[in-house]
Structure 1
């Protein structure tokens, strides 16, 4: 595997460490600075807004100027965002802090292209493994992010959360230096100037529809249930330590399978791995519906993480068969926009959904969406050439 792929995996780990760090403290900062309860989640909402805003422009910018230029600009925006957010904390201004998280969200949105950059750094038969290696960086992030949030509490006198942004700044500096040193491929003239199909023509492909839907539903349902779980556990009198333990194992379930997901795709086809992911999501819901004890939540979220891993990595790999080189920015950009819009909706609906529907009905609400993806992927058996559901180009 080329060194570029391993370097991008480390960059992904640094990016996601910062993301986990930010998620760990943003709601707490919002609670401290907000003048109205409805504004508590404003920083998180702005982060998602920044992420979604960046997806399409980042993909097109990288196609024209190259991955390195795009990633460098993204990290610089992230560094600016950490400084702005820190000023918001020092000044006790929720608006300034939210502006900082918006800029950080843009940096996170640009960084979502790391896995696509890994595809360009290796031969097609290695694509599924390259995606898995980059996503496996999340295991390191699951360790760095929460611990950095804890260790940084005494780094700044103004706020117990301000120190976290020094840590976040350091992570972005390391990622920037790494990207500058990596031999990322440059855009080719043919990829920039070739004919590009319209969105209507592209989405007439059942394969592209299935890939985008798999990424959207896998991510959206994961965020929906993951975000609602701490609230549900609190309602059922589980203490914070139990909740933190459940979330920790959920994150491990999300990223540890990345070490072998690529091998499973090569051996059993992308289509089958996505179907297994849908099955794991459904099994997670089944466990959640059987009870609300600690081990129900633990198994439910562990399976939810595995289901996300299989559907997301599988969808990313399947997507590569749906476009020509000149169309990659257009397809990758719209895919990221759709997937992270679904994640944002899941996060925003989780709290209100739990209050309105309750834990059981919130889980039941997710089932039809998973079944739709299952049907779309299942139909590819007859509608897609064998190359599109295997690891061969």
Structure 2
């Protein structure tokens, strides 16, 4: 079990390596190739939108072939699209570069599921630590990604051509790592069990709405500033080594808090931690607006990373509490609702990263049918729930507990004793 988790943590780090390099270089390469400057962030947008558009396809592949095969397929896409982006840069084809990043979004949609697969590789008593361990693997990407982009920038005639080729090597290493992981078989749905409540009904729950808004705010502000920062620093005349340093500390801010945010949630609750994420986002914006020196970029992006951690990953706890017991990550089928909450919310936060960098472009922004709800007759009719039971359930959720998971789930998201 521990071996599988460590390998998955390495795969997560390599996934973040790919993401950080893409964020670091796609805007700058786009600026060099775009027919007009305001289009510079379209390659960054393509990667995010491609990931959101791929969630349904990833869902079907996970259900049909399981975790491992689907993850390896995503890595194959990562390999081919890295080569396609290198070809686009070599040919100086802007639209081929955009197409390559959109297709690469399929790998992003797969990689977003690594943290959920971690829970399946550990016993229930170790699942929270297992997810934290795999998320902490992102620190590998925090160090390797920016430095890889920096040291390969001038390795070939065209700037960043070697960076894309290096990502193809990263994809091959990831495929070797993934080959060593043994995932448990997907849980089988009981005979005669229904498909669970309609997705729309679950999405109307207040806890789901709050978690979606948290994801949209955390991911939206982060991607907007992440896309704009390399361009803004380039416009300010800073060397790319400074860009790499800022992005390195940004990604450290994203994943290093994973070692202790679980304890904060248990002590203060989910919503207070998400509120702290909002405050950190506001502090990031104020610092970013205060000047154009290196330390201002560095501190602003670090706070942005920590705020994203509190908002984006902590809403995962709140959002899961809004799912019936049969849909809380029980195999690949349990990821559909998280995808709606995560990647779906990401598409809603289209911003103007190029404009913020002084250029003028738009920068935007999981899977499965799910196991059957174990609701019994409670789903069939709107049986009223005692007010005290609701209070106990919500109080438990606010402290980061399982909420209603130990009680019978009824049709309108309330709990029966």
Under TM normalisation by the shorter chain, which class is it?
Answer: 0.7 to 0.9
- Greater helix content: 1
C-alpha separation in 2, matches of 1:8 and 1:54: 22
Gaps of 5+ in 1: 358-379
Aligned residues: 366
Q: Does 1:162 align with 2:165?
A: no
Superposed CA RMSD in Å reads: 3.2
Indicate the structure (1 or 2) with the bigger Cα radius of gyration: 2
C-alpha separation in 2, matches of 1:21 and 1:203: 34
Tell me the residue number matched to 1:362. Answer: none
Task: Give 1:386 deviation, angstroms.
Answer: 0.7
Tell me the residue number matched to 2:394. Answer: 384
TM-score by length of 2: 0.77
Q: Does 1:277 align with 2:277?
A: yes
Tell me the residue number matched to 2:409. Answer: none
Alignment of 1:229-248 (within 5 A): 229=229, 239-240=238-239, 245-248=245-248
Equivalent of 2:335, from 322, 329, 341? 329
Gaps of 5+ in 2: 328-332, 361-389, 406-417
Q: Does 1:350 align with 2:361?
A: no
Alignment of 1:117-156 (within 5 A): 117-153=117-153, 155-156=155-156
Contact 1:278 1:311 in 2 (8 A): yes
Tell me the residue number matched to 1:339. Answer: 345
Task: Give 1:335 deviation, angstroms.
Answer: 1.7
* Change beyond 3 A, Cα 1:161–1:238: closer
Alignment of 1:1-393 (within 5 A): 2-153=2-153, 155-157=155-157, 159-190=158-189, 194-229=194-229, 239-240=238-239, 245-288=245-288, 295-324=295-324, 325-326=326-327, 328-342=334-348, 345-346=350-351, 349-352=352-355, 384-387=394-397, 389-392=399-402
Contact 1:51 1:340 in 2 (8 A): no
* Change beyond 3 A, Cα 1:33–1:12: same
Contact 1:214 1:312 in 2 (8 A): yes
Tell me the residue number matched to 2:330. Answer: none
C-alpha separation in 2, matches of 1:68 and 1:106: 15
**Structure 1 stretch displaced more, 265-274 or 193-202:** 265-274
Contact 1:228 1:354 in 2 (8 A): yes
